[in-house]
Amino acid sequence: MSGSTIAPRDDQNIKKVLVTGGAGYLGSTMIPMLLEDGYEVIVYDSFSWGIAPLLPIASHPKLTVIKGNVLDEDHLKTVMADVDAIIHLAAIVGYPACSKDPELATTVNVQGTKNVVQNMKPGQRIVYASTGSCYGAVTGVCTEETPISPLTLYGSTKADGEKLIREVGGVGLRLATVFGVSPRLRLDLLVNDLTNKAVSKRSFDLYEGGFRRTFLHVRDAARAFVFALQHYGSMTAQAFNVGDESMNMTKRDVAKMIEANVSGCCITESKSGTDLDKRDYEVSYAKIRALGYKAKVDMKTGIEELLKIVPNMTQEEIARCKNV
């Protein structure tokens, strides 16, 4: 890649950033990065999963923490009024959680996003957490030009939210399946879930092992939002796949890597179980890579980090991290 293809940084006038859902799995990893880069940061979160993930950074002078819900439009509007940029993470995430309460998922993921968009002021930037689940069933290699056809409520509500964001010039980041350790750890994500099962059960069945998925460490996912904030002019009104081709892997590949790192573990394959999002394809990340973004944390490193934490969690902690 030649230096001329790398997008110039254009965030000189961006001082204050609002992060909706900032105490969650992705947000609690991202907030320290934004603070380290010198931004004033407002976390706007309902704290459904607690405020503990923000404790390590509570003393930071540039951090403001506000309890709020994106469905409370009047409150949200007040908080949004004097920020330069919004990173919109607040959502019901994953098809199991959306299936559990479809009405809430639709309201939060679509109406909540409308509330953000409708109260933006001229010049404010917005970066949105979209998902590869927007694509649905795809044959071959998936690019940003691949038509989206979501198969689940989660995928369709996130696709609707992305459309709203892009219509006002915002950036939609279609994240690969995220994994790894975060201050607000989740164990319902595929790699994290498999690692937990390997540690706790030593032997279990994996369904659809040959399905190809694409993965992204949570730190790299967080970095992508900071990158989009800082290169907004080159990304405005567009969608970008975020991940790395080196982690276009089958579920079996991931399971074998985990198995190799857990003594006495034996993962077998089952014919029962199905991924309702039908994620079985490779994804191209050439579009965002051309601007200068590249993932840094590989699968092996992410699994090794998980194996420092998961074996030492209490049953209560594990249950709290399963989300649904």
CATH number where 56 lies: 3.40.50.720
pLDDT number for residue 4:
44
pLDDT number for residue 269:
84
Residue 74 lies in a domain: yes
Q: How far apart are the C-alpha atoms of 24 and 91, rounded to whole Å?
A: 10
Q: How far apart are the C-alpha atoms of 98 and 276, rounded to whole Å?
A: 12
Helices (H), 107-250: 112-118, 153-167, 190-201, 218-230
Residue 315 lies in a domain: no
Residue 276 lies in a domain: no
Average pLDDT of each block of 10 consecutive residues along the chain (324 residues)? 69 97 98 98 96 97 98 98 98 87 93 98 97 86 92 92 98 97 95 94 83 93 98 98 94 93 88 67 94 97 98 95 74
Residue 43 lies in a domain: yes
| Amino acid at the residue 47 | F
Q: How far apart are the C-alpha atoms of 96 and 170, rounded to whole Å?
A: 27
Task: Count how many Cα atoms sit within 13 Å of the Cα of residue 286 in the half-sphere of its side chain.
Answer: 8
DSSP letter at 125 equals E
55: domain range?
A: 14-131+139-176+215-243+282-295
Rg (CA), the chain: 19
Residue 120 lies in a domain: yes
Could you tell me how far CA 8 lies from the centroid of its own chain?
Answer: 24
For the residues of 24-58, what is the DSSP string, one character each?
STTHHHHHHHHHHTT-EEEEEE--TT-SGGGGGGT
- How far is the CA of 276 from the CAs of 133, 155, 205, 211, in angstroms? 10, 10, 18, 12
Size (the chain), residues: 324
Residue 305 lies in a domain: no
| Amino acid at the residue 57 | I
Total structural domains in the chain?
1
Q: How far apart are the C-alpha atoms of 184 and 60, rounded to whole Å?
A: 18
pLDDT number for residue 170:
98
pLDDT number for residue 276:
60
pLDDT digits (tens, 9 = 90+) for 83-135: 999 999 999 998 888 888 999 999 999 999 999 999 999 999 999 999 998 89
Residue 250 lies in a domain: no
Q: How far apart are the C-alpha atoms of 119 and 247, rounded to whole Å?
A: 38
Q: How far apart are the C-alpha atoms of 169 and 302, rounded to whole Å?
A: 34
The model carries a pTM of: 0.94
Residue 123 lies in a domain: yes
pLDDT number for residue 6:
85
Could you tell me how far CA 27 lies from the centroid of its own chain?
Answer: 9
